[in-house]
Chain A
Amino acid sequence: MITVLLSLVLISYGDVGFTLSDEVVVWQLRFPKIIVAFFAGGLLASAGLLLQVFFQNPLAGPDLLGINAGSSLGVALFIMASGFLPESVMTIGQPFMAMIGAMGVFTLLAFLVHKNLSRISLLILGLLIASFTSSFISVLVNMTPSLQVKNFLMWSMGSFQGQTLEELPLFIFLSFVGILLLITLPKKLNQFIIGEQYAKSMGMNVRSFKFSLILICSLLVATVTAFCGPIGFIGIIAPHIARSFLKRSDIRLVMPAVFLIGSALALFTELILIFTSQYSLATNSILGLIGAPVIALYLYKERRML
């Protein structure tokens, strides 16, 4: 178990070491990408884990539930409006709006689930939210001057590479806040796994815990989405990979593994992008090629559950 964890660390760091030594000259270009991929992958994967526990639904993930989309809508509104906004709000505004969007969708979902929504309906609802927001965004795009549209389209491709050294500190700061908040959760998540009622009977304030999950998860998704664009699949597959490797459910073990697997997935995608740089592939297409089969495999294995 520990070796699995360690080897994952090694894989992650192996990637880092490899790219560093290979491209020493351009480390200023590569280094931010590696940092960004490491944190973004980890945060998204952790957000996926939180969502799966929250909804007791192994197919929950920030992309499938439309939380990425909510974030995107926030960012879209911000980028479209950026022509009218003062310079001073530029850096913080994007993550802030992403956070609002993510929280909006999550709160909506949490409220509806309270009304006894089945597992499948939840996912369909997530897809509906995602398609609603993307339609809304394309309407916005058509109504906006071209410079902002170009910025937005670049962002909406989703990439760990769009960051400059100036943006990096804010991203790292938000990532650390996210990680610190994550560290406070394992005990309560463990209690929550066996069901809301049992958690309550063990003295947990379920209402405030759920609220803090919504807040933390939205922060994680928003941080990534604001800086990297909507990134798919990591949030849903990393928890599955972690669980099937560890064969444990204790969040104290699962959470770090999920984080590192998320990081490894993001770094791996980066690595492929570097090797295939002459084709300028998109991050999300690579993740889709890895992610979709993994989910399909899971569905096949667990078909009796759904």
Chain B
Amino acid sequence: MIEFKNLSVGFNNKTLLKDLDGKIEKGQLIALMGVNGAGKSCLLKTLTALNPKRSGELSLDKVSYESSSPLDLAKKMAVVLTEKIHADFLKVIELIHLGRSPYTDVWGNLSDADSKSIFEVISLLKLERIQNNFFSELSDGQKQKVLLARALVQAPQYLFLDEPTTYLDIPSKVELMKTLKQLSHEKQMAVFFSTHDLNLIEDVVDFIWLIDADGVLHIKSPEDLRSSGLLKTNFNI
């Protein structure tokens, strides 16, 4: 369980959000919402230890982030980010292999267990046909899937995705949601993602985390959120 109390997040010595409380449990599918600039990415990057927190408590399975090693965290959580990848001649399969880095030896050689988990993820996401293509030549939807595969072979208990649906067409969005639901409910993974697609996620997720205009974090089930009127005030819906 990831837990935080009185958490402040921000970057470049600026605090964006403060007094945040919440927790993420295994098996939950959570969508993080909020208008642009509300601090969604910042919160997500703090929860994944990519940005340092400003202050407050933040712990994974009762152990604070500061006292766990980066490698231990990497074995428990993985991310899919919005940053573009610029590598030339990077093969899909090699990119997916990289997800095993926390487990491989100093040379990055794969053990049998590594290969097995890579094989499973590739067949789960049906990437067999494109695994030998160059990453730079894929469509946005395919890239998103490959990045998800890279994160999954990292064998995370907590999976974080920063706006994974943004560049996808409708069928790909729906498919991604199905996959995320499957991961959280069948594999008991916690899946946490930021998004703007309320219609898409409403019937799928367990919780919606809404950051309102005042920087307050509301954690509610989709039904409660709809009846609370928060959506009206924040999104004019």
Q: Please list the residues of chain A having a beta carbon within 8 angstroms of any beta carbon in chain B.
A: 56, 58, 184, 186-187, 190-191, 193-195, 197-198, 200-205, 243, 246-250, 252
Contacts and interface: CB of A to CB of B under 8 A. Distances in A.
B79 A201 contact: yes
Given A200-B50, A205-B70, A184 B106 contact: yes
A104 B19 CA distance: 42
B83 A187 contact: no
B108 A252 contact: yes
B89 A248 contact: yes
B107 A187 contact: yes
B184 interface: no
A197 B50 CA distance: 7
B101 A187 contact: yes
A194 B98 CA distance: 9
Nearest to A240: B88
A129 B141 CA distance: 43
B99 interface: yes
Nearest to B101: A202
A243 B88 CA distance: 8
B58 to A, nearest CB: 16
B101 A203 contact: yes
Contacts of B87: 193-194, 249
A202 B70 CA distance: 8
Contacts of A190: 94, 98, 101, 108
B104 A201 contact: no
B144 interface: no
B83 to A, nearest CB: 5
Contacts of A249: 87-91, 94
A187 B81 contact: no
A250 B96 CA distance: 12
15 contacts: A187-B106, A190-B98, A191-B101, A193-B87, A194-B90, A197-B79, A198-B79, A198-B83, A202-B99, A202-B101, A203-B71, A203-B74, A243-B88, A249-B91, A249-B94
Contacts of A58: 88
B73 interface: yes
Contacts of A195: 81, 83, 85-86
A191 B98 contact: yes
Given A194-B95, A248-B91, A56 B86 contact: yes
B12 to A, nearest CB: 10
The residue among A56, A191, A201, A248 with the most chain B CB atoms within 10 A of its own CB is A201
A246 B89 contact: yes
A202 B90 contact: no
Contacts of A197: 45, 50, 79, 81, 83
Contacts of B98: 190-191, 194, 198, 202
Given A186-B108, A197-B50, A203 B94 contact: no
Contacts of A243: 88-89
B111 to A, nearest CB: 14
Contact of A201 (B78, B85, B94, B108): B78
A141 B146 CA distance: 57
Nearest to B81: A197
Nearest to A302: B88
Contacts of A201: 48-50, 74, 77-79, 81
A200 B89 contact: no
A200 B70 contact: yes
